[in-house]
Amino acid sequence: MTEFNDLILIYQEGQPLFYARVDDMIPDPRPGFKGWFTVEITCLTVPVAPMSIGLNYKQVYEAEPFTMAGKDMLIEYIPPKKLVTPETVKEVRPGTSSNVVSLADRRK
């Protein structure tokens, strides 16, 4: 489920195209377009580029494939990673296996 400030990955023809951040989702006010949104995103490319896409509810919230300019497209929500905090690092004991690596210890 995609929300504001979420990270998404845009696919074209089954291939990852670019990452983007969801900036806004504006319901389409036109009659007959209930459930449609103008989705404003920032494409995380170089240079960064703003873009607006007209999508319906399922395409935004349920990762339903759609076509754009005759090409198959898909939006995948990228969940945030768990942040590593100083408290988490203190829980790791030397000599145990862990995914957390102390950069301070590596400098010694």
Q: Give per-residue pLDDT as tens, 47-96.
A: 999 999 999 989 988 889 999 999 999 999 998 877 666 665 555 555 55
pLDDT at 104 over 90: no
The number of C-alpha atoms within 13 Å of 34 and in the hemisphere containing its C-beta is: 2
3-state secondary structure of 64: coil
Distance of CA 69 to the CA centre of its chain: 22
- What percentage of the chain exceeds 90 in pLDDT? 62
Tokens of 36: 């449609």
Task: Give per-residue pLDDT as tens, 12-44.
Answer: 999 999 999 999 999 999 999 999 999 999 999
